[in-house]
Amino acid sequence: MWQDKLKKLKKQTKPVEKKKVSTVVPESRSQDIKFSDYCRENHIYPIKHDTIEPVTLNPQPQRRINPEPTYYEQMDFFDELNSDATFYRHGQKNIPKELRLGKFKIDATLDLHNYSKAHALDLLDRFIDTNSQNAKCIKIIHGQGTNSQNNHAVLLNIVRKYLQRLPQVIAYSYGSPKQGGNGITLVKLSR
């Protein structure tokens, strides 16, 4: 049924004839045109090779010059990406497990989310200095890196590497899933 209607519509419409467009250049004109005249008429000029024009697309911002790097910028963290999940000193290998099981009361907590490496280490150093006399166990929240670029933890490894260098730290461990898992570090301090 619809095929019959389509046939009728095709018969009613007349095909449009396509007109041929020809560009005819008079013979006298085509022979007289020179390339130099054509360029001059269309405002095309040759490039001069003896002059060089500097082009600056995106000027680079000048870096801030810091004559004295901070203590944390001077520190050389050798294998920053591979830190130990647990650490202990003086043969006390049971302390990391006891930290995860919650056998020590957490006396203080430090949250380092959204800080740069240098700023986080500065805060951590001050925090441990102020709490090493009073606190027995501290909790450091640094995150797992799920919200950072490429899901790469920024502070996790550097905090743990730094804790290994401090003499006040007897042991540290990642937390249990209830405590925060790998996003936290539980630290046992010496008194």
Q: What is the pTM of this model?
A: 0.58
pLDDT value at residue 16: 58
**CATH topology assigned to domain 89-189:** Ribosomal Protein S8; Chain: A, domain 1 (3.30.1370)
Q: Where are the domains of the chain?
A: 89-189
For residue 146, what pLDDT is reported? 77
Residue that wins the pLDDT comparison between 168 and 83? 168
pLDDT value at residue 75: 54
Q: How many residues does the chain have?
A: 191
Would the pLDDT of 186 be above 90? Answer: yes
